[in-house]
C-alpha cells in the first residue's frame, strides 16, 4: 500500500488512472475558466466604475457651466442640456451607490461622518441644482443658488469626486494585481498538477506499459525458443517414427514410404528397383542360449554389416525381430547380376562367425530378392515377392540367396491351398500310413516295416511327405499327423498279425514336436497295449536335429521314457548331422539309420569309408545299424559285407498302402545272403 501509488499498476486498471488524471485536468481547466470569466467581469465593472465616476466629475462642472449660461444668456438648447446633465448626474450617482461601493474605503468616502460624505455632498448639489432649475426664470433668486452650487463644484464636491475617481482607479489597479496573482497561482497549480500527474499517473503507467512490453518481448523470445525446441522434438519424433530404435536402420514405415516414392518415380528416373528380404537363420537360438543383450548386439552388427555392403542411398530397414529388407535402386535393368552378387555377399558375410564380447556366434542368413516389373505399383507387392523368394531360399537349405520367379509363387499358392485343406484332411482321415519293408543283412529275413505317411488328398491324389510335412511343421500340426499315423499303423500291424503274417517290428517316425509333448510316451504305450502289441515290436526313429536343437528339454525326457519302456529308439538320417556319439550312449539310443545320401554314393570310396566307419563304431557300441535307400543288390551286398544289420530301400520293396502289404508278403522270399 505504501508505494502503491508510485508502483506500476496493473495494466488492465490503467484506465482508472487516466480517467482520474483527465478528470483532474478538466476540473482545473473548468476552475480556471470560471476565474477568467470572473476577472473579465470584474475588470469590466472596474472600467465602468472609473468611467462613471469620471463622468460625475465632468457632469458636476457641466451643470455649473450650463447653469451660468442659463442665467446670463437663456437659450432653450442649453436649458435642455442642463436638465439632461442634472438627470445624468443623479443617475450616475445612483449607479455608483448601487455598483461601485465594494470596499470599506469607498463606503467611507460616501458615508463616513468623519470623511467628505460624498453622498450628502451629491445630494446637496442635486438639491441646489433642482432649486436652481425651479428658479432659473427669475435670475435674481436663482443667482445665489448658483453661487452656492459654484462653491461646491469647485471646492468640496470636486475634491470628493476627485478622491472617488482616484479611489476607484486604485481599487481597480489593486484588483487587477490580485487577479494577475491568481492567474499566476492557477498556472503554477496547473503545472504542479501536471507534474504530480506525471509522477503518479503517467510515469507508473509508462512503467507498466514498459514492463508489459518487456514481458511480451520476453514471452515472445521464450515462445520462439519453445518453438525451436518443439521443432527439434518433432524432428526427433519423426526420426524415431521412421527408424528402428535398436539398430538405427529405417523401420517398416520409412521403408514403405521410400519404396513407394522410388516405384512412383521409376518411369521418369528409368531406374530398376530391387528389394531384398533378409532373414537370419539361427537368431532364435542365439537369443535363447546367449541372452537378449547378445541378441541385440547381433542385430546391430548384422545391420552394420549390411550397411557396409550396400551403397550410399540404398535403404536398409529392419522390419521384424530378425527380418530385414533392403531396397536397391539400379541405374539399368542389366544390373540383375549385380543384385545376385550383393545378395550372395550378404549371405556370405553373415555366415561368418561373429565375435561379440569375446563370444562367438554363427548366425547365417537367407536372402530372397525381386525386381519391380511393369505391374509393380505397390511396395507391398514387391516386398511379398522378395519374401516368397526368401521362403524358397530357407526351404532350399538356408544360407543362400535366390531371385524371385513366378513358379515360386505357384508353389507358394499350392502350399497355401494345402494348408487350407489340413482341417478337412484330418476330418476325413486323409493321412494314411504306407509301409516299406526292412530286411536283415545277415539272413535276409523280414525285420519289419517303416511307416511312412502319405496324404491321400481327395482332389490332388497322393501327396508325399516332403511336401506336406514342412507345412505341417509350419502350422504346428505335425504332431497331430504323427499321432494319427501311429494309431493307424499299429492297428494295421495287429491286423496283419491276426491274419497270420509274421511281422516282427514297425518303425515309426516321430517329429520333434510330438516328442516335446509330455503326453507322448503314455500315448504310445497305451496305443501299443490297445492293439495287443509289445514295446519291443516298435522302433521310434528320431532325427539327429531333435537331439541338437532340443538339448535338455522335454524331447529328451520323452526319448528316455520310451527307451526305458522297451521301445527301440533309432537315430534317423545318421551321418548328415552332428550328434555326438557320447550323447547316443547317454540317451539309451539303440540304433542308427545311415542316411540315404551316403548309401547312394556307396560305390564312391570315400563314402564307403564313412559308412564303414559308422558301422564299425555302431557295432563297437552295440548299436543296431540300418541302411536306408538301398536301391541295388550291390549296395546291399557291400553293406552286408561291412556288417550292417538291416537294410531298407527300393531294392527290397517300395513304400506301399496297407492293402498291398499282404500281397507283397506273399511274394516275399528271404533274400539269400552273399557272404
Ligand atoms: P525318412 O524317414 O528318411 O524316410 C525314408 C524316405 O526314403 C522315404 O521317403 C522313403 O520313401 C524314401 N526311400 C526309401 N527307400 C528308398 C530308396 O531306395 N531310394 C530312395 N531314393 N528313397 C527311398 P518319404 O516317404 O517321402 O518320406 C520322406 C521323409 O518324410 C521321411 O524320411 C521322414 O523323415 C518324413 N516322414 C515320413 N513319414 C513321416 C511321419 O509319419 N512322421 C514324421 N514325423 N515324418 C515322416
Ligand atoms: Ca525314417
Ligand atoms: Ca531316413
**Average pLDDT value over all residues in the chain:** 90
Residue 340 has pLDDT above 90, yes or no: yes
Nearest C-alpha neighbor of 339 from the set 398, 384, 249, 402: 402
Distance from the CA of 622 to the center of ligand 3, in angstroms? 20
> Is 514 within 8 Å of 478 (Cβ atoms)?
yes
Ligand 1 centre distance from Cα of residue 276 (Å): 34
Residue 555 has pLDDT above 70, yes or no: yes
Cell of 253: 514405415
Of 367-381, 412-426, 497-511, 572-586, the range with the lowest mean pLDDT is 572-586
Looking from the CA of residue 593, the nearest atom of ligand 1 is 3
For residue 276, what pLDDT is reported? 97
Cα–Cα separations (whole angstroms), residue 530 to 102, 489, 520, 558, 569: 151, 13, 15, 20, 21
How many CA within 13 A on the CB side of residue 499? Answer: 15
Distance 596 CA to ligand 1 centre (A): 10
Determine if residue 374 is left, alpha or beta; phi over 0 gives left, psi from -120 to 50 gives alpha, anything else beta: alpha
- Closest-CA residue, ligand 1 atom 4, reads 452
Whole-number Å distance, alpha carbon 540 to ligand 1 midpoint, is 14
What is the atom index within ligand 1 of the atom nearest the CA of 431? 41
Cα separation, 14 vs 201, whole angstroms: 9
Q: Which residues surround ligand 3, an ion (CB under 5 A)?
A: 572-573, 628
Please answer whether residues 379 and 260 qualify as being in contact, where contact means their C-beta atoms are separated by less than 8 angstroms: yes
CA–CA distance from 189 to each of 192, 198, 203, 496 (Å)?
A: 5, 14, 19, 137
Closest residue (by CA) to atom 30 of ligand 1?
465
Centre of ligand 1 to C-alpha 525, Å, is 24
pLDDT tens across 194-238, in order?
Answer: 898 888 888 888 888 888 899 999 999 999 999 999 999 999 998
At 438, phi and psi to the nearest 5? Answer: -130, 140
Ligand 1 site, CB within 6 A? 436, 452-453, 464-466, 469, 478, 482, 485, 509, 511, 541, 572-573, 596, 628-631, 649-650, 655
Q: By mean pLDDT, which of 6-10, 125-129, 195-199 is the weakest?
A: 6-10
**So what's the pLDDT on residue 1?**
42
Ligand 1, atom nearest to 655 Cα: 11
Three-state DSSP state, 658? helix
Nearest C-alpha to atom 44 of ligand 1 is from which residue?
511
Instruction: Map 272-307 to HEC letters.
Output: EEEEEEEEECCHHHHHHHHCHHHHHHHHHHHHHHHH
Place of cell 452656492: 148
Average pLDDT over residues 329-344: 83
Of 344, 320, 356, which is closest to residue 247 (Cα–Cα)?
Answer: 320
pTM for this predicted structure: 0.61
> Which ligand is the nearest neighbour of the Cα of 434?
1
Q: Can you name the residues that pair with 355 across neighbouring β-strands?
A: 360
Residue nearest (by alpha carbon) to ligand 1 atom 45? 509
Helix (H) or strand (E) holding 330, with range, is: strand 323-330
How many C-beta neighbours within 10 Å does residue 463 have?
Answer: 20
User: Any idea which residue has 468611467 for its cell?
Assistant: 51
Ligand 1 centroid distance, CA of 567 (Å): 20
Give the per-residue pLDDT at 659: 96
Task: Check pLDDT > 60 for residue 610.
Answer: yes
Query: Residue length, the chain?
Result: 675
Is the pLDDT score of 522 beyond 60? yes
Q: How confident is the model at residue 112 (pLDDT cuts 50, 70, 90)?
A: confident
Ligand 1 pocket: which of 473, 506, 596 to mutate (most atoms within 8 A of CB): 596
Measure 634 CA to ligand 2 centroid, in angstroms.
Answer: 22
Please say if the pLDDT value at position 517 is more than 90: yes
DSSP state, 117? -
Alpha-carbon distance 368 to 403, whole Å? 6
- In sequence order, the β-bridge partners of residue 657 are 434
Which of the four pLDDT bands, split at 50, 70 and 90, describes residue 544?
confident
- Dig out the grid coordinates for 32 from the structure: 480556471
Task: For ligand 1, pick from 436, 438, 452, 456 the residue to mutate: most ligand atoms within 8 Å of CB.
Answer: 452
Alpha carbons within 13 angstroms on the beta-carbon side of residue 58 total 8
Distance between Cα 629 and ligand 3 center (Å): 8
Q: Which of 17-21, 260-264, 479-483 has the lowest mean pLDDT?
A: 17-21
What is the Cα–Cα distance from 266 to 607, expressed in whole angstroms? 53
Percent of the chain with pLDDT over 70: 96
Distance (angstroms) between ligand 2 centre and the Cα of 425 equals 22
Q: Which of 18-27, 194-203, 488-497, 574-583 has the highest mean pLDDT?
A: 488-497
In our burial notation (b when 16+ CB lie closer than 10 A, e otherwise), range 567-594 reads bbbbbbbbbebebeeeebeebebbbbbb
- Cell matching residue 450: 517303416
Terminal CA-CA length for the chain? 127
Q: List, in order, residues 6 or more apart from 449 with CB less than 8 Å away.
A: 435, 436, 437, 438, 503, 505, 506, 507, 661
| DSSP designation for 311 | P
Ligand nearest to the CA of 452: 1
Which is nearest to 538 in space by CA: 585, 591, 498, 575? Answer: 591
Ligand 1 atom nearest the C-alpha of 478 is 44
Instruction: Pull the grid cell for residue 107.
Output: 463606503
Please give the number of the atom of ligand 1 that sits closest to the Cα of 511. 44
Position 675 confidence tier, pLDDT thresholds 50, 70, 90: very low
- Written in H, E and C, the secondary structure of 227-249 is HHHHHHHHHHHHHHHHECCCCCC
Q: How confident is the model at residue 78 (pLDDT cuts 50, 70, 90)?
A: confident
The atom of ligand 1 lying closest to the CA of 434 is 25
Taking CA atoms only, the protein residue closest to ligand 1 atom 7 is: 629
Question: How far does residue 427's CA lie from ligand 3's centre (Å)?
Answer: 29
Q: How far apart are CA 515 and CA 404, in angstroms?
A: 36
- How far apart are alpha carbons 555 and 542 in whole angstroms? 10
Greater confidence (579 vs 114) lies with: 114
For ligand 1, atom 42, which residue shows the shortest CA distance?
A: 509
Confidence of residue 2 (pLDDT cuts 50, 70, 90): very low
**What is the C-alpha to C-alpha distance for residues 226 and 211, in angstroms, rounded to an integer?**
22
- For residue 579, the model assigns a pLDDT of 58
Query: Which of 637, 293, 584 lies closest to 441, judged by CA?
Result: 637
In whole angstroms, what is the distance from residue 53 CA to residue 474 CA? 138
Per-residue cell: 274: 530391387
Average pLDDT in the 440-453 region?
Answer: 96
Residue 357 region, left (φ>0) first, then alpha (ψ -120 to 50), else beta? Answer: left
Q: Which atom of ligand 1 is nearest to the CA of 510?
A: 44
Spacing, Cα 420 to ligand 1 middle (Å): 24
Amino acid at each position: 500500500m505504501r508505494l502503491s501509488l508510485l508502483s506500476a499498476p496493473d495494466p488492465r486498471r490503467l484506465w482508472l488512472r487516466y480517467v482520474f488524471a483527465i478528470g483532474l485536468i478538466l476540473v482545473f481547466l473548468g476552475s480556471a475558466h470560471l476565474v477568467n470569466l470572473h476577472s473579465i467581469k470584474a475588470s469590466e465593472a472596474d472600467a465602468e466604475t472609473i468611467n462613471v465616476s469620471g463622468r460625475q466629475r465632468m457632469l458636476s462642472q457641466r451643470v455649473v457651466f450650463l447653469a451660468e449660461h442659463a442665467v446670463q444668456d437663456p437659450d432653450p438648447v442649453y436649458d435642455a442640456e442642463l436638465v439632461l446633465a442634472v438627470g445624468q448626474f443623479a443617475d450616475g450617482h445612483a449607479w455608483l451607490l448601487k455598483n461601485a461601493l465594494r470596499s470599506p474605503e469607498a463606503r467611507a468616502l460616501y458615508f463616513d461622518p468623519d470623511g467628505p460624505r460624498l453622498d450628502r455632498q451629491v445630494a446637496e448639489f442635486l438639491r441646489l441644482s433642482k432649486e436652481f432649475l425651479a428658479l432659473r426664470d427669475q435670475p435674481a433668486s436663482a443667482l445665489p443658488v448658483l453661487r452656492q452650487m459654484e462653491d461646491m463644484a469647485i471646492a468640496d464636491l470636486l475634491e470628493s469626486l476627485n478622491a472617488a475617481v482616484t479611489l476607484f482607479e486604485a481599487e481597480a489597479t489593486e484588483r487587477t494585481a490580485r487577479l494577475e496573482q491568481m492567474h499566476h497561482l492557477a498556472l503554477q497549480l496547473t503545472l504542479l498538477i501536471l507534474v504530480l500527474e506525471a509522477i503518479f499517473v503517467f510515469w507508473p503507467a509508462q512503467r507498466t506499459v514498459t514492463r508489459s512490453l518487456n514481458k511480451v518481448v520476453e514471452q515472445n523470445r521464450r515462445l520462439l525458443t519453445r518453438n525451436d525446441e518443439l521443432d527439434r522434438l518433432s524432428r526427433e519424433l519423426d526420426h524415431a517414427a521412421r527408424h528402428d530404435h535398436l539398430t538405427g536402420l529405417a523401420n517398416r514405415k520409412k521403408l514403405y514410404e521410400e519404396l513407394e516414392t522410388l516405384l512412383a518415380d521409376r518411369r521418369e528416373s528409368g531406374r530398376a528397383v530391387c528389394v531384398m528380404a533378409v532373414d537370419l537363420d539361427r537368431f532364435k537360438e542365439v537369443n535363447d542360449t546367449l541372452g537378449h543383450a547378445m541378441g541385440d548386439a547381433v542385430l546391430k552388427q548384422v545391420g552394420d554389416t549390411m550397411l557396409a555392403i550396400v551403397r550410399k542411398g540404398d535403404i536398409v530397414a529392419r522390419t521384424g525381430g530378425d527380418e530385414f529388407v533392403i531396397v536397391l535402386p539400379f541405374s539399368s535393368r542389366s544390373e540383375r547380376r549385380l543384385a545376385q552378387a550383393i545378395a550372395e555377399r550378404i549371405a556370405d558375410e553373415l555366415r561368418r562367425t561373429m565375435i561379440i564380447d569375446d563370444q562367438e556366434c554363427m548366425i547365417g542368413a537367407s536372402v530372397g530378392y525381386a525386381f519391380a516389373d511393369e505391374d509393380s505399383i505397390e511396395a507391398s507387392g514387391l516386398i511379398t515377392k522378395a519374401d516368397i523368394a526368401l521362403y524358397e531360399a530357407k526351404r532350399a537349405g538356408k544360407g543362400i540367396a535366390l531371385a524371385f520367379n513366378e513358379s515360386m509363387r505357384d508353389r507358394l499358392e499350392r502350399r497355401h491351398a494345402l494348408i487350407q485343406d489340413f482341417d478337412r484332411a484330418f476330418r476325413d482321415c486323409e493321412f494314411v500310413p504306407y509301409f516299406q519293408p526292412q530286411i536283415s543283412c545277415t539272413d535276409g529275413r523280414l525285420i519289419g516295416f517303416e511307416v511312412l505317411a502319405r496324404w491321400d488328398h481327395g482332389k490332388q491324389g497322393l501327396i508325399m511327405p516332403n511336401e506336406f510335412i514342412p507345412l505341417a511343421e509350419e502350422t504346428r500340426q505335425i504332431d497331430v499327423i504323427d499321432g494319427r499315423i501311429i494309431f493307424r499303423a499299429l492297428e494295421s500291424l495287429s491286423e496283419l498279425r491276426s491274419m497270420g503274417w509274421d511281422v516282427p517290428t514297425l518303425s515309426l517316425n516321430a517329429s520333434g514336436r510330438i516328442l516335446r509333448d509330455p503326453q507322448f510316451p503314455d500315448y504310445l504305450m497305451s496305443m501299443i497295449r490297445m492293439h495287443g502289441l509289445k514295446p519291443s515290436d516298435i522302433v521310434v526313429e528320431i532325427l539327429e536335429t531333435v537331439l541338437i536343437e532340443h538339448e535338455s528339454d522335454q524331447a529328451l525326457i520323452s526319448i528316455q521314457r520310451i527307451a526305458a519302456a522297451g521301445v527301440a529308439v533309432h537315430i534317423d538320417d545318421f551321418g548328415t548331422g552332428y550328434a555326438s556319439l557320447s550323447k547316443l550312449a547317454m540317451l539309451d539310443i539303440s540304433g542308427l539309420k545311415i542316411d540315404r545320401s551316403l548309401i547312394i554314393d556307396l560305390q564312391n570310396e570315400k563314402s564307403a569309408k564313412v559308412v564303414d566307419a559308422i558301422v564299425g563304431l555302431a557295432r563297437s557300441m552295440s548299436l543296431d545299424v540300418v541302411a536306408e535307400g538301398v536301391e541295388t543288390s550291390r549296395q546291399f551286398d557291400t553293406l552286408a559285407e561291412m556288417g550292417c544289420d538291416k537294410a531298407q530301400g527300393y531294392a527290397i520293396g517300395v513304400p506301399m498302402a496297407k492293402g498291398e502289404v499282404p500281397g507283397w508278403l506273399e511274394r516275399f522270399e528271404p533274400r539269400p545272403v552273399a557272404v
